[in-house]
A and B are shown apart, each in its own frame.
Chain A
Amino acid sequence: MIQLEQLTWKVSGRTILENVTVAIPANTYAVLMGSTGCGKTTLLEILCGLRQPTSGRVLLDGVDVTDLEPRERGIGYVPQDLALFPGLRVREQIGFAPKLRGMAPDELNQRVNRLAEQFGIAPLLDRLPDMLSGGEKQRVALARALAAQPKLLLLDEPLSALDESMRAEAVSLLQRVQSEHALTVLHVTHSSSEAAALGTLHLRMVAGRLEQESKG
């Protein structure tokens, strides 16, 4: 469960987020909409621990994580540009987090292969990011985030670079991933159809404030 309490973020005297308070229950697929520059990405970055809020608290499963480092939060993050690691092959991208945690090579290979199968990217394991299409990159970024076995997944407009036909496929993939991994997902999007297809909880950011629209 994600709880944001009175979260405020100010930069150079400008208030970007103002007293954001929301509770997202576990295993919920929440979608967050809002105009460009309204603070959606900032909110995700505060949740991840990449930015410190000016005031307020972030609680994950009831634990205050506001002062914890990103690596201590157990959050998977897929930014808008997907941010694949340049120079690392798909296999290394997916195995990055498990390897960092000292996972044995056999177990690491099993996990990488299992995720690659699940995301349909097994034939791409030896490719570099430059040799992947937009859809393939998106799958690799998702697999990389899930390899760390997070409880919470933050997606920042992950489908924005995909064309219409691929987007429908990606939506069903995200639904499947959320239910199979029992994840709480917070998905930022500009697309109403994407939000309608995926969201069970609809949030909207307006002028730095968060409004809950409805529960699906």
Chain B
Amino acid sequence: MRLNRSNLCWLALALITAGYLVFWALLLGATAAYSTVDSWLQVLQSPEIRHATFLSLVTCTLAAGFALLLAVPVGYLMTRLEFRGKSWLDAALDIPIILPPLVVGLCLLIFFQTKIGKVIEMAIPFTYQVSGVVLAQFVVAAAFAIRTMRGTFQHLSARPEDVALTLGCTRFQALWHVALPAARRGMVAAFCIAWARSLGEFGPILVFAGATRMKTEVLPTTVWLELSVGNLEAAVAVSLFMVLLAVLVLVAVRATGEKV
């Protein structure tokens, strides 16, 4: 291949990309090298960390499930209906993405001190509870799930739904019988993205649900707690476990054909 200007340009861009990937590989490699078999065994035997792992898996699944239940109707509405103020609503739906995580936790904490919040807590207690962990994860994960579902519906033609309307469907039936089956892969992707996002959630959980061992401790909390007592080996082992889970989720999303 001749090294003309165009090739030089591609070469430069490829080097930048490779440099970034190498940087990440070095980061993960160094973290992995720091970990030992003993630290993994210690992590596996620790009842607190086992509890945190179990709680993370359960709360992430619940938060991602609730996020998907919200994301499907909101994504469908934002794609198929044109209305005044849509761009403002669109921007508002992205607020949880741009807010600093600690602020999200603080907002939740303050909301549940208001009259409405206290009434809700009489039915379902959230503050410093496991349900609070789910809510804190859900608040942020839902915004990512909505984005994914919106992209999914945008890529699907509305025409089959129009035809379904002429064949006797109500709008809801067209969504249920035509749009949702077609959006299956997008729904799997939205669930996985919301799940991965929930797994990494730390700030809102710390502020709103606390970091009580054997109660509201999830994996990111474990990393923080282990670091705070100087147990770097355990913190690294838990971090690597989270990296593994995140990679599995990424593979699952890619398998659906959706882009993250």
Q: Does B165 touch A at the CB level, under 8 Å?
A: yes
Find out whether the CB atom of A81 lies under 8 angstroms from the CB atom of B157.
Answer: yes
Q: Determine if B69 is an interface residue (Cβ-Cβ < 8 Å).
A: no
A100 at the interface (CB under 8 A from B): yes
With A81-B157, A84-B160, A87-B181 known as contacts, the answer to whether A100 contacts B173 (CB < 8 A) is yes
**Residues of B170-200 contacting chain A, CB below 8 A:** 170, 173, 177-178, 181-182, 184
> 1/0 per position for A92-112, CB-CB distance to B under 8 A?
000011001100000000000
Residues of chain A within 8 A of B165, CB atoms compared = 48-50, 69-71
Once the chains bind, are B178 and A85 in contact (CB under 8 Å)? yes
Question: Is B230 part of the binding interface, using a Cβ–Cβ cutoff of 8 Å?
Answer: no
Chain B 152-173: CB-based contact to A (< 8 A → 1; otherwise 0): 0000110110111111111001
Minimum CB–CB distance from B143 to chain A (whole Å) comes to 27
How far is B173's CA from A48's CA once the two chains are assembled, in angstroms?
17
| Residues in B neighbouring A50, C-beta threshold 8 A | 162, 165-166
CB contacts (< 8 Å) of B170 on chain A: these are 69, 71
Task: Find B167's partner among A45, A79, A96 (CB 8 Å cutoff).
Answer: A96
C-alpha gap A144/B182 in the complex (Å): 18
From B159, B173, B181, A88 is in contact (CB under 8 Å) with B181
- Cross-chain contact B169 with A100 (CB below 8 angstroms): yes
Quick one: CB contact mask for A60-102 with B, threshold 8 Å, 1 for yes? 0000000001110101111101011111100000001100110
- Report the count of interface residues on B (CB-CB < 8 A): 19
- The contact string, 1 if C-beta is below 8 Å from chain A, for chain B 118-159, is 000000000000000000000000000000000000001101
Report how many residues on chain A are interfacial, defined by Cβ distance under 8 Å: 27
In the complex, what distance in Å separates the CA atom of A69 from the CA atom of B167? 11
B181→A48 contact, CB < 8 A: no
Instruction: Tell me, rounded to whole Å, the shortest Cβ–Cβ distance linking B33 to chain A.
Output: 47
A73 to B181, alpha carbons, bound, how many Å? Answer: 26
A101 to B177, CA, bound (A): 13
Determine how close the nearest CB of chain B comes to the CB of A190; give it in whole angstroms. Answer: 19
Q: Is there an interface contact between A77 and B169, defined as CB atoms closer than 8 Å? A: no
Inter-chain CA distance A77–B164, complex, in Å, is 9
- Residue A148 CB within 8 A of the other chain: yes
Q: Tell me if A148 and B167 are in contact (CB < 8 A).
A: yes
Q: A81-B159, A86-B160 are in contact. Are A75 and B181 (CB under 8 A)?
A: no
Q: In the complex, are the beta carbons of A83 and B157 less than 8 A apart? A: yes
Residue of A whose beta carbon sits closest to that of B160: A83
Could you tell me the distance between the alpha carbons of A45 and B178 in the complex, rounded to whole angstroms?
19
Q: Mark B182-224, 1 if CB is under 8 A from A, else 0.
A: 1010000000000000000000000000000000000000000
Please name all residues of chain A whose beta carbon is closer than 8 Å to the beta carbon of B166 when the two chains form the complex.
Answer: 48-50, 70-71, 73, 75-77, 145, 148
How many angstroms from the CA of A131 to the CA of B109 in the assembled complex? 54
- Write out the residue numbers on chain B whose beta carbons fall within 8 Å of the beta carbon of A148: 166-168
Given the complex, which residues of A lie within 8 Å of B156, measured CB to CB?
86
Query: For residue A87, which residue of chain B has the nearest CB?
Result: B181
Contacts of B173 in A (CB 8 A): 100
Measured CB to CB, the residues of A under 8 A from B are 45, 48-50, 69-71, 73, 75-79, 81, 83-88, 96-97, 100-101, 144-145, 148
Add 17 more A-B contacts to A96-B164, A96-B177, A148-B168 (CB < 8 A).
Answer: A48-B162, A50-B162, A50-B165, A50-B166, A69-B170, A73-B166, A76-B166, A77-B166, A81-B157, A83-B159, A83-B162, A85-B177, A85-B178, A87-B182, A97-B167, A100-B177, A145-B167
List 23 contacting pairs A-B, 8 Å CB cutoff, sorted by A. A50-B162, A69-B170, A70-B165, A70-B166, A71-B168, A78-B163, A79-B163, A83-B157, A83-B159, A83-B162, A83-B163, A84-B160, A85-B181, A85-B182, A86-B160, A86-B182, A87-B182, A96-B177, A97-B167, A97-B168, A100-B167, A144-B163, A148-B168
